[in-house]
Amino acid sequence: MKKLLALLCLCGLLLTAAACSAPAPADASVPSATPALPSDPDIPPDATPTPEPTPTPVPDPIFDGEIYHIFFHCLIAFPDISYKNGKSPLDEDCVLVDEFKRCLQQLYDNGYALIDINETFNVDADGQVTRAQVRAPAGKKPLILSVDDMVYDPRKLGNGMVDKIILDDEGKIATYTKHKDGTEVISYDNEIIPILESFIDEHPDFSIRGARGTLALTGFAGIFGYRTDRLTENQAEEIAAVGPIVDAVRALGWTFASHGYGHRHSADITEELFLDDTTKWRKEVENLVGPTQIYVYPYGQYVTTGGVKYQTMLDFGFKVMCGVSHEQVWEEQGNALFMTRFGIDGYSLRNYGKRLAPLFDCSTVIDTTYRI
Ligand SMILES: [Zn+2]
């Protein structure tokens, strides 16, 4: 479509230029001082420009290789704070800003490009869910990226993460953090969303058809650092404050997934609690971000097919359930598709270099300044 628009604009420019350079029609009442120029013998009179043929867009080829799904947690934005006592409480579950940037660069250099998870499955009229054929530009390997727990739990603030996602005066995504000494920091360069946006600005071909990542959200302490849960006194204000951020993130191409309301162990809790948890997510998170067909199991702990909890997820409209593994699994389960994700964190950078080798080189990604 963009090509077509560009072509139309170009044609418009040419036509305008032709009209401007054409001699003005002579006014019969004013004798012309100069003789008329001889007409160009190569141009027949009254010739109208032949419209250029509209090129038929050629669809990208179907990608027939392995599609990886990787996920991150929020970044360690302030490593000096996080590692001030030697070992950071975020060390195993998170990566540092520089590590994330090196991951992106190596993924890009290795030919990966982001794909929207919602393009990877089909649902037929009977509700059967199957893998979709995914198209990608020649030479590109589609990659699904998700980010878990972008909640900025108040109990964990001050450990080196940012406090919240904000929008600046121009509507650009940034982060806000207030340190214990009262210093306030607004940054565009210390969390996944703004860093990935900058990277795609520089490398637009890292995003296939505008894809970004999928944000797997809980609800127990709100989302994005805003306390939108029902137990918060100023819930209405927090909901109003996060609305424009959700809109901005969605407009950029980010999508959302349920990560459960209370980040519970899905297999261990009762069926009643699972239903309660899923219902609360719908009331307190889906009402903010809109419906989603993607469920990301907390702790990667999945429920067995055919059980009551599984049926609960189907009843709530979930079509894709995501687990965690360093083996890539896609399993069509009838009414849903199960897929695993690779966690990219301090633990995997240290221990899964071989498994992650198709994506990037852990030995050159991993930080050597803070990690001991
Ligand atoms: Zn989680």
Question: What pLDDT sits at residue 42?
Answer: 56
Tell how far the Cα of 263 is from the centroid of ligand 1, in angstroms: 6
Cα-based torsion angle of the residue sequence 350, 351, 355, 356 in order, rounded to the nearest 10 degrees: -10
Tell how far the Cα of 4 is from the centroid of ligand 1, in angstroms: 43
Tell how far the Cα of 148 is from the centroid of ligand 1, in angstroms: 5
Over the chain, what is the mean pLDDT?
Answer: 89
- Count of C-beta atoms within a 10 Å radius of residue 261: 22
Higher pLDDT, 145 or 7: 145
Tell how far the Cα of 72 is from the centroid of ligand 1, in angstroms: 10
Tell how far the Cα of 162 is from the centroid of ligand 1, in angstroms: 17
Is 175's pLDDT higher than 80? yes
Is 248's pLDDT higher than 90? yes
Is 15's pLDDT higher than 50? no
Q: What does the pLDDT average to over 318-344?
A: 96
Q: What does the pLDDT average to over 19-26?
A: 38
What share of the chain in percent tops pLDDT 90?
Answer: 82
Question: What pLDDT sits at residue 21?
Answer: 39
Tell how far the Cα of 264 is from the centroid of ligand 1, in angstroms: 9
Q: Which residues, 6 or more positions from 10, have their beta carbon under 8 angstroms from its beta carbon?
A: none
Question: What pLDDT sits at residue 5?
Answer: 40
The residue type of 152 is: Y
Say how far apart CA 205 and CA 112 lie, in whole Å.
9
Q: What does the pLDDT average to over 181-210?
A: 98
Tell how far the Cα of 150 is from the centroid of ligand 1, in angstroms: 9
Is 30's pLDDT higher than 50? no
What would the two tokens of residue 118 be? 């919602």
Is 85's pLDDT higher than 80? yes
Confidence class of residue 80 from pLDDT cuts 50, 70 and 90? Answer: very high
What share of the chain in percent tops pLDDT 70?
Answer: 87
Is 233's pLDDT higher than 80? yes
Question: What pLDDT sits at residue 46?
Answer: 59
Q: Report CA-CA distances (Å) from 175 to 162, 192, 347.
A: 7, 10, 25
Tell how far the Cα of 298 is from the centroid of ligand 1, in angstroms: 5
Tens digit of each residue's pLDDT (9 = 90 or more) over 340-353: 999 999 999 999 99
Contact 259, 187 (CB under 8 A): no
Confidence class of residue 367 from pLDDT cuts 50, 70 and 90? Answer: very high
Is 49's pLDDT higher than 80? no
Is 8's pLDDT higher than 60? no
Question: Of 25-29, 140-144, 189-193, 324-328, which gets the smallest average pLDDT?
Answer: 25-29
Question: What pLDDT sits at residue 131?
Answer: 97
Higher pLDDT, 333 or 32: 333
Tens digit of each residue's pLDDT (9 = 90 or more) over 88-132: 999 999 999 999 999 999 999 999 999 999 999 999 999 999 999
Say how far apart CA 50 and CA 28 lie, in whole Å.
31
Q: What does the pLDDT average to over 277-302?
A: 98
Question: What pLDDT sits at residue 245?
Answer: 98
Q: Which residues surround ligand 1, an ion (CB under 5 A)?
A: 148-149, 298
Burial label, 84 (beta-carbon count in 10 A; 0-12, 13-18, 19+): exposed
Question: What pLDDT sits at residue 47?
Answer: 58
Tell how far the Cα of 71 is from the centroid of ligand 1, in angstroms: 10
185: β partners: 177
Q: What does the pLDDT average to over 258-270?
A: 97
Q: Report CA-CA distances (Å) from 31 to 39, 256, 287.
A: 19, 73, 75
Is 23's pLDDT higher than 70? no
- 3-class SS string, the chain: CHHHHHHHHHHHHHHHHHHHHCCCCCCCCCCCCCCCCCCCCCCCCCCCCCCCCCCCCCCCCECCCCCEEEEEECCECCHHHHCCCCCCCCCCCCCEHHHHHHHHHHHHHCCEEECCHHHCEEECCCCCEEECCCECCCCCEEEEEEEECCCCCHHHCCCCCCCEEEECCCCCEEEEEECCCCCEEEECCCCHHHHHHHHHHHCHHHEHHHCCCEEEECCECEECCECCCCCCCCHHHHHHHHHHHHHHHHHHCCEEEECCCCCCCCCCCCHHHHHHHHHHHHHHHHHHHCCCCEEECHHHCCCCCCCHHHHHHHHCCCCEEEEECCCCCEEECCCCEEEEEEECCHHHHHHCHHHHCCCCCHHHHCCCCCCC
Q: Report CA-CA distances (Å) from 184 to 27, 154, 179, 238, 249.
A: 72, 16, 6, 20, 23
Q: In the CATH scheme, what is the code of domain 111-153+189-341?
A: 3.20.20
Tell how far the Cα of 265 is from the centroid of ligand 1, in angstroms: 10
Tens digit of each residue's pLDDT (9 = 90 or more) over 139-162: 999 999 999 999 999 998 999 999
Say how far apart CA 39 and CA 263 lie, in whole Å.
80
What is the Cβ-side half-sphere exposure of residue 84, based on CA atoms within 13 angstroms?
7
Scan for tokens 């994005």, then name that residue: 224
Scan for tokens 């109208």, then name that residue: 48
Q: What angle do CA 264, 153, 168 make, to 5 degrees?
A: 130
Question: What pLDDT sits at residue 199?
Answer: 98
Higher pLDDT, 5 or 209: 209
